[in-house]
Chains A and B, each alone.
Chain A
């Protein structure tokens, strides 16, 4: 291998680097050759002791990548956190919005049921005075049972709603943490 071949091979390995860096590196080796030849060494002796161009290029590129990684990190993180946000959003939209709406609907319908059950005594009372008193007594008793069930349902639903609300808040917080954790 001659000096020119050595330098050309080295250059070919360095094509990923900015041109100014390539020139810098190559000029170091050109000068090295000149020094070596000036000391009476032959080109092949200098090449022999320099080592393989590939090895040298590997060193140069390794340093370059270490250096490049630093500014690149924040943007790639930002990208990842955006990605997370979209991913989580889609996941929530597809898998959780449906059940969430269903849950709300069920709770709402139970509330409506409870309110109706509580209002039955009023209807029974009206029928007691307006329609037949004897049948009305029976329906009045039944309506009180309905009132009891309605009130129990109401308080039960309130407790259930508190628990659901807490789950909901916790889930939102965990989502937030995942996104923010990625963005840090």
Chain B
């Protein structure tokens, strides 16, 4: 997959995961790598960038059973950004889906089945 494209999608995933509740780094990595294959290490730079751009704030929570957890909390700006990206994604994926549907309809040899 195109690197830039993947990065964009990764940003979207991270933001969306943090909408419902604050997440800590490992949790985010886990949740995403469960769904698709990525170099997990690239999520941390992404989180740093989003934090620096003001979409996240972070706080540390000591944990009884494991290492301290760095939680990422969406700011208002981050929420708006996530909203915008989701909207963009929806219209984009709808367009792609439509193209695929059309492709399947025209596909008489059943290549796309």
Q: Which of chain A's residues have a CB closer than 8 A to the CB of B70? A: 28, 31
**Is B65 an interface position by the 8 A CB rule?**
yes
Partner of A35, one of B41, B42, B66: B66
Are B40 and A59 touching (Cβ within 8 A)?
no
Q: Assuming A34-B67, A35-B26, A35-B67, is B48 touching A63 (CB within 8 A)?
A: yes
| Per-residue A-contact encoding for B23-43, CB less than 8 Å = 1, 0 else | 001100100010000111110
B96 at the A interface (CB under 8 A): no
Q: Are A24 and B48 in contact (CB under 8 A)?
A: yes
Q: How far is the CA of A29 from the CA of B38 in the complex (A)?
A: 16
The one of A32, A36, A51 that contacts B42, using a Cβ cutoff of 8 Å: A51
B48 touches A51 (CB 8 A): no
Do residues A56 and B45 form an inter-chain contact, with CB atoms below 8 A? yes
The answer to whether A50 and B39 touch (CB under 8 A), given A31-B67, A36-B26, A38-B65, is: yes
> A62: which B residues are within 8 A, CB to CB?
45
> Which residue on A lies nearest to B33, using beta carbons?
A49
Q: How far is A30 from B33 in the complex, measured between Cα atoms in Å?
A: 18
* Neighbour of B25 across the interface among A31, A60, A67, CB < 8 A: A31
Report if B49 contacts A (CB, 8 A).
yes
The answer to the question of B46 belonging to the interface, with a C-beta cut-off of 8 Å to chain A, is yes
Interface residue? A180 (CB, 8 A): no
A64 to chain B minimum Cβ distance, whole angstroms, is 9
B68 within 8 A of A: yes
Residue pairs across A and B with CB atoms within 8 Å: the count is 64
Query: Contact between B66 and A59 (Cβ–Cβ < 8 Å)?
Result: no
Asked if B52 is an interface residue, CB under 8 A from chain A, the answer is yes
A32 touching B25 in the complex, CB below 8 Å, given contacts A49-B40, A50-B39, A67-B52: yes
Interface secondary structure of A, over-half rule: helix
CB pair A25 B25 closer than 8 Å: no
The answer, yes or no, to whether B92 is at the interface (CB within 8 Å) is: no
Q: Contact check, B67 vs A63: say whether CB atoms are below 8 A apart.
A: no
Partner of B26, one of A32, A52, A53, A55: A32
Q: Most B CB atoms within 10 A — which of A31, A38, A51?
A: A31
B66 and A34 contacting across the interface, CB-CB below 8 Å: yes
* Cα separation A52 to B42 with both chains bound (whole Å): 9
**Whole-angstrom distance from the CB of B14 to the nearest CB of chain A?**
13
Contacts of A55 in B (CB 8 A): 39, 41-42
Bound Cα distance A19, B45 (Å):
16
Pick the 3 closest A-B CB pairs, nearest first: A51-B39, A59-B45, A50-B41
A-B contact pairs, 24 of them (CB 8 A): A24-B48, A25-B48, A28-B25, A31-B25, A31-B26, A31-B69, A31-B70, A32-B25, A32-B29, A32-B40, A35-B67, A49-B33, A49-B40, A50-B41, A51-B38, A51-B41, A51-B42, A52-B39, A55-B39, A56-B39, A56-B45, A59-B42, A59-B45, A63-B48
